[in-house]
Each structure stands twice: as C-alpha cells, then as structure tokens.
Amino acid sequence: MTRTVTAKTKRIRAAFQGERGAFSEEAARRFLGPRLEPVPQREFDDMFDAVVRGEADCAVVPVENTLAGSVIKNYDLLVGYDLTIVGEVVLRVAHNLIAPRGVKLSDVRRVFSHPVALAQCEDYLRKMRQQIPSLEVLPAYDTAGAVKMVVKNGRHDEAAIASKSAAQVFAAHILASGIESNPQNFTRFFVMARPDRVARIPMAGKSKERKTSLVFRIANRPGSLYASLYAFAAEQVDLTKIESRPIVGRPWEYSFYLDFVGDRNDANVRRALAALAGAAESVRIFGSYPRAET
C-alpha cells in the first residue's frame, strides 16, 4: 500500500555547515522535527549555495553566540545571497569530551575541535593540562568533524569536543560531559530559504511574537546613524541587535545589520522603516519571522 506524503510529513532538506551530529544539525532538528532531511556541507558558502541551487530547501545559519559573539562570515554571506529568513532557533550548546570506544580519559594526549569550541572549554582543558602537561589541543574545521576524524584514526590517545549527537552518529563514547566553561552558552541560528520556496518551510514554535532583520547603508556624514535609528525609538520598536560590517571598496564606511521585535507589516514598524528609507542610502529586509523560544 502506498502512503501519501502530506504537507505535515513531507521531508524538508536543511543544509548546515559541518558533519552529521554538528550543533547546527541539532538546531535544524529543533526547528523541523521529524521532517528534517540533513544536508551537511563543508563550508558556510557551500550551505548557501546548496539552497540557491535547489539541493536543499533551507539553510540553518549560525549568526551569533552568547560567548563568542557574532559569526562575521555569515553576516557577510547574508548580503551576498538572495535568501529570506523564515525563522530562528536558539540552541543551548553543551560540550562533551568524546573518544573512540575503548579509550579512557587517562589515555588522552590530543584533543581536537573547532577553535570556538576549544575556547569555550578552556577551564576544563587547563585542568587536563595540569594532569597531562604534554596534552596537545588542536583545531579542526568542525566539532562533529573532529569526532569523525578521531574515530577514523582509531588511536588510543585522541579525543574530540562536540555534541552528544556527534558521539551517537559516529558510535563513539563520552568521556566527560558538560565541559564548557560557562553554562550560559547559546547559539542563535537563522533558518533561510529562497524567496520562491518560503511557503514550503513550516513555522516552528508557539511564540506569537515576531522579529525582523535587515541591513542598511548610510552616508559617512555626522548624524547619519542617529537619523537612521531615531524612528525606531520614536515608534517604540525594540531593537535587539545591531552589527556593523565594513563596505568593500568604501574604506571606513559600514553597513549596519539590525534585528528588532515586530513584523514589517505592523503599523509602527512600517512608519519606522519609511523613516529609515528616507535617512539611509539603501535598506534590505531579510525577513520577518516568529521569535525563537529559549
């Protein structure tokens, strides 16, 4: 008997940077649930390209971390691709020391992970070095990729720092859990799709509150930034983030990325956006979307 695929059961191909078991895959699963069809990509650019080419329905894009700050590469890519933000995910990041089965904690002499993950586990690694002065801490392109590598290497003295999911994907075991220095470690992701495929991506979460993200450019003259932002204060629009990035080819001039609470169709938001358009050189709205639950 053939089972009909309905809108509720249809698989959604989500591209993300890293190997299976990466934190980005966890974010994708939180947003899409059982509909997720993972499409892992080596680099951030590959993730965006996969969506543009139609090889993925959406991309799950990390944009900021509460400890490491903004993911600058992805802010630059937002401008370079014609994709729309359809949602956001906030993921609690819990790091684990993971090794091939049979490896003991006392055996470990080399630890691999993404540089940001290594920095977030500095306290734990410092304590390890007190016990093992010769310990090597080495960078990898991805947390889950580090687990894949140490399992493939099959050495008795190597481990990686990654998610619990990565240990499950690569049949490794967790030597120590919750090793991040600060438990207030959260990463925020955008879920992005081509404009013509936005309707295919289901909305996640129960929050009725909406957010909007955009980028604008201003002339390099006194008061330009104040004039651009004043309308948001005047219209009682709550700004949640502002990020500046240099404009290529225009030294010491910047684009400003803005997140705020509200939908682009709300009356007060429309007035604020109209005032911004009058003060700025250009404005591009990436999308209005449900605010993530934390």
Q: Which residues are catalytic?
A: 187, 189
Distance CA 62, CA 257 (A): 15
Is the Cβ–Cβ distance between 24 and 71 less than 8 Å? no
Sign of the C-alpha dihedral computed for residues 194, 198, 200 and 202 taken in this order: positive
Q: Which residues 6+ apart lie within 8 Å of 122 measured at CB?
A: 181
Question: For tokens 């991309």, what's the residue?
Answer: 59
Q: What are phi and psi of 33, to 5 degrees?
A: 65, -140
Nearest to 83 by CA among 54, 108, 116: 54
Q: At what angle do helices 44-52 and 72-80 cross, to 10 degrees?
A: 20
Nearest to 233 by CA among 253, 258, 206: 258
Distance CA 94, CA 47 (A): 23
